[in-house]
Amino acid sequence: MTDCIVMQPICAAGIALLRRAGLSVYEAASPHLADLAPHLTKARAVITRNHGFPAEAIAAAPRLQVIAAHGTGTDRIDRAAAEARGIQVLNTPGANARSVAEHALGLMLACARTIPASERALRQGDFAFRDRHRPVELGGRVLGLVGYGHVARALAGLARGIGMRVQAFSAHAIPQEIVADGVAPAANLDALCASADVISLHGVPARAPLFDAARLARLRPGAILVNTARGALVDEAALVHALRTGPLAAAALDVFATEPLPPDSPLLDCPNLILTPHMGGLAAEALERTGIEVARKVIAALGLPQPD
């Protein structure tokens, strides 16, 4: 009997909570449908991470009541198929916000200070790298936040702590709340792009990339772009072109249109581009918080009492 499938690993404390609530838990060795199929026929709940949960998996799970995302994003879960069956779709917004915000700040600093390139040069015996390259300070510069949810709000505080001026464009946040955080609301996305030295993405993807060739061309000369949100927000081919020809000085990506990143991706040999393997939310503390929260949400959604 399988009550809950954990498709991708979560913390031991979260697994223990599920079991103390009386659930039979299957920790999958693989998130692929062929491996999950024997357990889906019995599952009442599924916990997924970045793999999502497609319509064909929902169809294979006749007893399913809950699909829970370990993290914020639910865009890889087929919400229409879930809603048609009356299956709850849950997530854990904010649980890993501090971790992602710190990662975004680290990427911003790494770009501004040319840290990866400097480290590679030194290992190759090129101490004169220091005479040919001039990093920049972020203090006094403008950070533009695209979206103003949990991660962007945490990053705003961190950036202000190192002396940056922060602006934000959000279609959903209340302007008065943005102002109360010491952040200036931008009238629109193009206005934000025109004034920001660093752009950090925290929005939800639309049908087309928000940062396509036209918008990348509007960025200020010497700008830095950081994406720790969703790969679909950026046209990756256009980004490579912008980094090779301007106006971008540097960019950093933690998320990609296709994950894992294909070995022939043009991103891999693009200059002035820092890549990390979707690890913004993977701080040990964040994984513990998120695993416990997603377990408690599944238990509540199934109508079970919370364990002590």
- 187-228 per-position pLDDT tens digit: 999 999 999 999 999 988 888 999 999 999 999 999 999 999
Q: What is the pLDDT of residue 289?
A: 97
β-strand pairing of 142-146 with 165-169: parallel
List the domains of the chain with CATH numbers. Answer: 4-95+284-301 (3.40.50.720), 97-275 (3.40.50.720)
**Burial letters 209-231, b for 16+ CB under 10 A, else e:** bbbeeebbeebbeebbbbbbbbb
For residue range 223-255, list pLDDT tens digits in order. 999 999 999 999 999 999 999 998 899 999 999
Q: Which pLDDT score is estimated for 148?
A: 97
Q: Is the pLDDT of residue 61 over 80?
A: yes
What is the mean predicted confidence (pLDDT) over 158-164?
98
Rounded to two decimals, what is the model's pTM? 0.92
Each residue of 95-144: pLDDT tens digit? 999 999 999 999 999 999 999 999 999 999 999 999 999 999 999 999 99
Q: Using pLDDT thresholds of 50, 70 and 90, give the confidence band for residue 73.
A: confident
Q: How confident is the model over 59-71, as a mean pLDDT?
A: 97
Question: Which residues are catalytically annotated?
Answer: 230, 259, 278
Output the average pLDDT for the chain. Answer: 96
